[in-house]
Amino acid sequence: MWSLIFVTTLALSSAIAKTVNLPSNDTWQYSFEVDYENNQFLLDGKPFRYVSGSFHYFRAPRQYWRDRLRKMRAAGLNAVSTYVEWSLHEPEPGQFNWVGDADLIEFLNIAQEEDLLVLLRPGPYICAERDLGGLPYWLLREVPNIKLRTKDTAFMNYATAYLNQVLEKVKPLLRGNGGPIIMVQIENEYGSYDACDTEYTDMLKEIVAQKVGNKALLYTTDGASASMLRCGFVPGAYATIDFGTSVNVTNSFQSMRLYQPRGPLVNSEFYPGWLTHWGETFQRVKTEAVTKTLREMLALGASVNIYMFYGGTNFAFTSGANGGVGVYSPQITSYDYDAPLTEAGDPTDKYFAIRNVIGEYLSLPNMSLPTASPKGNYGPVLLEPTQKLFDSQSSFVVSWATGNKPETFEYLSVNQGFVLYETDLPHSVSDPAILRAIVKDRALVYVDGRLSGTLSRIDKMFTIPLESPYGRRLSLLVENQGRLNFGNEIHDFKGVSNVTISGTSLINWNMTGYAFTDVSSLGDVSTIDVESGTLHNGPVFLRGRFTIIGQPLDTFLDTTGWGKGVAFVNGHNLGRYWPLVGPQITLYVPAPYLRTGENELILLELEYVSQTRKMKFQSVPNLNVGSPSSDR
């Protein structure tokens, strides 16, 4: 006898529960359940399997949601998987945001209109290579000793309020209510987190179940090993796994069978590409390896979600970092992922190869195939210095405090961006002296306003010598390069600590926090004197204007020749650039960020001004993709 779960009617006779011959009355019109006897899903009572693709709505302007979803459907996909990012929707406690690029309901509605079902992954933790794994920074401020991703009372109180908000909003869009959402994930790859708090995951499951009821299927996903499934498995939720091209498909699914002995095989994250960190070559996966593994899975009757099918962009400061004890590797701004659709939404050879494989197992929609969109080549823009970051009249100061020790970004309510820590050096120190500090993540060190060196968590550089240091002003401009998004060290407070000069602790700190949510207050071009080359006297804002004739097109900002900084187009934060380290050289500029007529480019350059003082908008990206491909 097989068991039927998550049906859409509350009253079932025992006769109905023992058969797959579902009645035809309207109460059975919409449902998604598991036929355990035949190892398959049932959609609205009929055998079904999905081939889905991941696309996170928060990585593309909402103007492009339909375009990307339609291209996914044209590839033969019948579902889309998306995370829901807590930090986006609740940027401060109790202040919820569901508009603009955070309009989750609009995204789900468009998915349904484009004939795609939805796999919803609301967290509360999502990883996703996002800052703090999508958890809001203020958790670390409100309760500094909070135990993230556990039954910790404070964490559960905040997580419950957030989940209830999300689930209440999406309730009308659950499959049982006629919507596209067929599955809702509990947590995210919890088996990869050492806490292994099964009470926590059970509590989350109950929260979700109370809102979802029998209107969609609850599920989990974990790495394809018994050790990961042991802590990630949640009774009452369907257990799935994830893996890429470098494993044995049959052996991987055998791991799933240890905890899910019956039901359809599912790979919830099949990797056609991979993420990239600053300072490494752009990561790629061979198309042949992707199609071979996909074909093997589909031949077994498995359902598959391709992570990512469209990656998009980590605009502003939203990218996270990987690492742990002694290791720190922040991700680049682009989330192209070597995915079937590029960062700009263009189909690749991998796209068409995947479509051909899907067509061997599912009916392909009668849709025209996508082509690459035209791109704008808007040429060079001359940038003139406008204002120094350390200007006493700066409108970007969002926090100011004093104290005997340097406080964290979180304590100062600075989510992303920079904090300037300043103090006076003692008179009685040796010359030269050794400055030592634990920095998270990168600090430009100034003595009396002049650059003396850099401290770096990436490079494990925590000491520099200072000449003639006595009685002078020490300034440390600390940059948050992205909180850890994966692993057991995600309690990743930002700032600087344990600051000493030749062994003497430094006290009496002034702390100034900066944020750049609105750069419109930046003054017009001024007469400040900034030479090209190394910025010895601190970061500067530069501004340039350029004209677009006709309808704006997507374009790419070439940062070659500059140091490290952040770029804004018409007030939109494109994200971090760092061409000296790479591999990413260009920043993607979506056409919705541009306008016909005059446009504005603003840079916050931290370290080095190009000799030409120009950046150009070009029609092709440069992510340094010439690196060799690999299997994953």
Residues 347 and 443 occupy one common structural domain:
no
Three-class DSSP labels, 220-262: EEEECCHHHHHHHCCCCCEEEEECCCCCCHHHHHHHHHHHCCC
Residues 21 and 143 occupy one common structural domain:
no
Question: pLDDT tens for residues 150-167?
Answer: 999 999 999 999 999 999
Residues 533 and 480 occupy one common structural domain:
no
Contact between 267 and 297 (Cβ < 8 Å) = yes
| Structural domain includes residue 625 | no
Q: Give the number of domains in the chain.
A: 4
**Can you give the pLDDT at residue 24?**
42
Cα(437)–Cα(433) distance, rounded to whole angstroms? 13
Q: What angle do CA 532, 457, 187 make, to 5 degrees?
A: 120
Three-class DSSP labels, 110-177: HHHHCCCEEEEECCCCCCCCEHHHHCCCHHHHHCCCCCCCCCCHHHHHHHHHHHHHHHHHHHHHEHHH
Q: Which of these, 438, 464, 439, 462, lies nearest to 451 by C-alpha position?
A: 464
Among the candidates 484, 514, 544, a domain finishes at 514
Report how far apart, in Å, the C-alpha atoms of 342 and of each of 187, 225, 334, 337 are: 28, 31, 10, 8
Residue 258's φ and ψ, nearest 5 degrees, are -65, -30
Domain carrying residue 223: 49-318+334-359
| Structural domain includes residue 371 | no
Residue 51 carries which side chain, given as an amino acid letter?
V
**Can you give the pLDDT at residue 206?**
98
Among the candidates 514, 531, 549, a domain finishes at 514
In CATH, what number is assigned to the domain containing residue 116?
A: 3.20.20.80
| Structural domain includes residue 630 | no
**Can you give the pLDDT at residue 2?**
34
Residues 38 and 119 occupy one common structural domain:
no
Residues 236 and 291 occupy one common structural domain:
yes
| Structural domain includes residue 624 | no
Residues 454 and 417 occupy one common structural domain:
yes
Residues 204 and 288 occupy one common structural domain:
yes
| Structural domain includes residue 174 | yes
Residues 25 and 113 occupy one common structural domain:
no
Cα(149)–Cα(527) distance, rounded to whole angstroms? 51
Report how far apart, in Å, the C-alpha atoms of 360 and of each of 298, 369, 419 are: 9, 17, 55
| Structural domain includes residue 479 | yes
**Can you give the pLDDT at residue 15?**
30
Cα(588)–Cα(575) distance, rounded to whole angstroms? 9
Q: Which residues of the chain have pLDDT under 70?
A: 1-28, 523-527, 625-632
In CATH, what number is assigned to the domain containing residue 470?
A: 2.60.120.260
Residues 35 and 60 occupy one common structural domain:
no
**Can you give the pLDDT at residue 632?**
67
| Structural domain includes residue 370 | no
Q: How many CB atoms lie within 10 A of CB 520?
A: 10
User: How far separated are the first and last CA of the chain, in Å rounded?
Assistant: 39
Residues 350 and 412 occupy one common structural domain:
no
Residues tagged active-site: 189, 269
Residues 218 and 310 occupy one common structural domain:
yes
| Structural domain includes residue 623 | no
DSSP label at 461?
Answer: B
**Can you give the pLDDT at residue 528?**
81
Residues 237 and 272 occupy one common structural domain:
yes
With H, G, I as helix, E, B as strand and everything else as coil, classify residue 386.
Answer: strand
Among the candidates 497, 514, 531, a domain finishes at 514
